[in-house]
Amino acid sequence: MTTNTHQHEDSMSTATPPRAPHSDAPAGHRSEESRVGAGLFNPKQLVKSLPDAFRKLDPRVMAKSPVMFVVLVGSVLTTASSFVNPGDRFGWTISAWLWLTVIFANLAEAVAEGRGKAQADTLRRAKTDAVARRLLGECEEQVPGAELRVGDLVVCEAGDVIPGDGDVVEGVASVDESAITGESAPVIRESGGDRSAVTGGTKVLSDRIVVRITTKPGETFIDRMINLVEGAARQKTPNEIALNILLASLTVVFLLACATLTPFADYAGTELTLVVLVALLVCLIPTTIGALLSAIGIAGMDRLVQRNVLAMSGRAVEAAGDVSTLLLDKTGTITLGNRQAAEFVSVRGTTEAEMADAAQLSSLADETPEGRSVVVLAKERYGLRERHQGELAGAEWIQFTAQTRMSGVDTGGRKVRKGATGSVIAWVEERGGTVAEDADATADRISKAGGTPLLVAVEDDRGARVLGVIHLKDVVKDGIRERFEELRRMGIRTVMITGDNPLTAKAIADEAGVDDFLAEATPEDKMSLIKREQAGGKLVAMTGDGTNDAPALAQADVGVAMNTGTSAAKEAGNMVDLDSNPTKLIEIVEIGKQLLITRGALTTFSIANDVAKYFAIIPALFSAVHPGLDKLNIMRLASPDSAILSAVIFNALIIIALVPLALKGVQYRPVSADRMLRRNLAVYGLGGLISPFIGIKIIDLLVSLIPGIG
């Protein structure tokens, strides 16, 4: 019963360094601006990325996308055919639009990469070649930062730029990390804790620290960030590779189908030129998703970067979308982390007003969050005006000590004390006072409910006596229960991890609405829990910041390390949250799901497009030879040539039209998988079927006006 009370009172007396502002804060100013930009599509990006789109016409680059490589080969063949027949206006027009199709596909990828390159340029400007003060025994020597090796000790004082990634092994300092996080507020870095990691290129603002270098030159955190946000280090994910194989297979099938049309046409007495066959093939293969697939993956990682989360691989982003179990720390994630006064419980014979007055008075000199919350509760719930120490001139303030485990004030012949249950009861009994029978019972009830009891006692002309109990509780964050309900609808199980005893853990878990909890958790317990979940075929995500979290972060499918944490934690995880906000794990899962949904939706749209284009082109192509097919030409396209050209133009334009959706992502809603499937089929499946008929018909009306084609 007294364990939590001791913890509270110890916190009143121990001077702790300021906590890093990123721990609970949202992303910094730069991140907010970037986030807005991430949700919008700027047409200027198309023009800016156009040179990169032309550079990607290199066959070695195009070969990475089988579908678009086929379109590139088809463009070359139709262009060569047009040179053979220079008067063929239809051939030249088809060739031009096929080249535009390839360029538009490259443009989608170039725009996605371009946003990352802009961020990389910012990071490069932040990267400086600092001169390091390397320690050699008791002496210092100045060496270029590029010459530092793993294990070197360097000294950094106020005004120095930290020359490389490392861990603080001596001292405590305030560090400006705005170059990395975009947050202008400094953070505290100190030795011996979970906030010991420092990043090369950041600046020391105060005091002196000794840093042990943990990375080689060129492999620092900033270097890895530059490579990742540029897309240079992006590798295709397993799902992306599988989808590429499917698209390649469909391309082969349609290639064979188009090849067999030639003998059928010969038998029917009509002629299908190379230009017509290539155009027909390009319209039937899944060019839409083939063109946008890479851009979707890059944009998914970019959305994480906009939220100040650095994903070490696309695989991690994709895995986040398939996560079925979330492991969340209690303190700072589910709860605010600072216990707050929730109620004043007076004992028999004492009024609530008297109890509240004494509780407020005893807390005026208590500058801890708990003490401040007592003053606020007395003011808000009982209407007591907040008194200041200056109004109590001559009062003797009793500071908390580890020996007394109490604090309070002596004023005007009245003594008020607040503290641990056993200590306050002993203080009252020493003065011959009385302890109400329900005081200890109330404290036990609060402890069993997961709270922390603090007794309030007074000694005045009526003698010494206990007035009541202050109920401190770890306050669950507003809206967190609703977030967990959303995750439950998504099919994700939430598990709260805490070092609290099972009674306290259960009380918090019930209030927060998590599915399960792990109390008195050790690193081994976390690892065992992750392995059990994975053995059941589930993907697990968790956050951590300490060296003791590293094994579990490495074992988890999605391990999000806090930037304020140790180097070991950041090396073990496959994501790093630059804002060190543990609740961001929920956002990461949503971004991963949005990536998968976007890829699935555009794949559905692309395949439905191909089906529609097939029924739009083939009847118009053969209706002249087989008049019976004219009944299937429901769009009444002007001629076979205009039908093919209209389909090719629509095929190119739909790619550029879908670029904003590929970059922004399909809006995610926390609904069940079957409802999501029905929605995607209704919106993107049906939309993919209808849009080609409308688009091709409109283009055909315009194309039919062109002499020599219509």
pLDDT(463) > 80:
yes
10 Å CB burial of residue 210 (0-12, 13-18, 19+) is middle
525 labelled binding-site residue: no
Give the whole-angstrom CA distance, residue 91 versus residue 632: 26
Cβ neighbours around 164 below 10 Å, total: 28
Residue 19 has pLDDT above 60, yes or no: no
CA distances from residue 623 to 280, 378, 702 in whole angstroms, order as listed? 16, 87, 21
To the question of whether residue 196 is assigned a binding role by annotation, the answer is: no
Q: Examine the residue annotation and report whether 516 is marked as an active-site residue of this protein.
A: no
Residue 511, number of CB atoms within 10 A of its CB: 18
Give the residue ranges of DSSP H helices in 400-548: 421-430, 437-448, 480-489, 502-512, 523-535
Residue 205 has pLDDT above 80, yes or no: yes
Reply yes or no on whether the pLDDT at 96 is more than 90.
yes
According to the model, what pLDDT value does residue 182 have? 59
Average pLDDT of span 130-149: 83
Label residue 271 by pLDDT band (50, 70, 90): confident
Q: What is the mean pLDDT of residues 143-171?
A: 86
Which pLDDT does position 405 carry in this prediction? 78
In this structure, what token pair is assigned to residue 650?
Answer: 């629509």
Tell whether residue 598 is among the known ligand binding residues: no
Is 542 labelled a binding residue?
no
Whether the predicted pLDDT of 392 surpasses 90:
no
404 annotated as a binding-site residue: yes
Q: Is the pLDDT assigned to residue 401 strictly greater than 90?
A: no
Q: Are strands 540-544 and 325-329 parallel, antiparallel or unpaired?
A: parallel
pLDDT band at 22 (very low <50, low <70, confident <90, very high): very low
* Rounded Cα distance, 42 and 261, in Å: 43
Residues 3-18, mean pLDDT to the nearest whole number: 34
Count the Cβ atoms, other than its own, within 10 Å of residue 426: 14
Q: What pLDDT, on a 0 to 100 scale, did the predictor assign at position 198?
A: 85
Measuring CA to CA, how many Å separate 459 from each of 80, 349, 358, 422, 435? Answer: 103, 15, 11, 17, 12
490-535 per-position pLDDT tens digit: 788 889 888 777 877 888 888 888 999 988 888 888 889 999 999 9
Q: Is 700 annotated as a binding residue?
A: no
Q: Which of 165, 167, 176, 329 is catalytic?
A: 329
Q: What is the mean pLDDT of residues 143-149?
A: 82
Residue 488 is assigned to a ligand binding site? no
Q: Is 449 annotated as a binding residue?
A: no
The reported pLDDT for the residue numbered 74 is 93
Whether residue 24 is predicted with pLDDT greater than 50 in this model: the reply is no
- Which pair of tokens denotes residue 281? 């093939």
Q: Which of 561, 68, 552, 113 is nearest to 288 (CA)?
A: 68
Report the range out of 484-498, 595-609, 659-673 with the highest average pLDDT: 595-609
- Give the model confidence (pLDDT) of 187-199 as tens digits: 888 887 667 888 8
CA 432 to chain centre: 60
What φ, ψ does residue 609 adopt, rounded to 5°? -55, -45
Q: What pLDDT score was predicted for residue 444?
A: 82
pLDDT interval class at 78 (50, 70, 90): very high
Residue 526 to residue 529: CA distance in whole angstroms: 5
Calculate the CA dihedral of residues 576, 582, 583, 585 and round it to 10 degrees: 40
pLDDT higher than threshold 60 for residue 18: no
Measured between alpha carbons, how far is 557 from 494 in angstroms, rounded to an integer? Answer: 15
Q: Is 545 annotated as a binding residue?
A: yes
For residue 26, what pLDDT band results from cuts at 50, 70 and 90? very low
Q: Find out whether 236 is annotated in a ligand binding site.
A: no
Average pLDDT over residues 454-481: 85
Distance of alpha carbon 375 from alpha carbon 385, whole angstroms: 9
CB 360 within 8 A of CB 378: yes
Angle between helical axes of 584-622 and 673-680 (0-180°, round to 10): 40
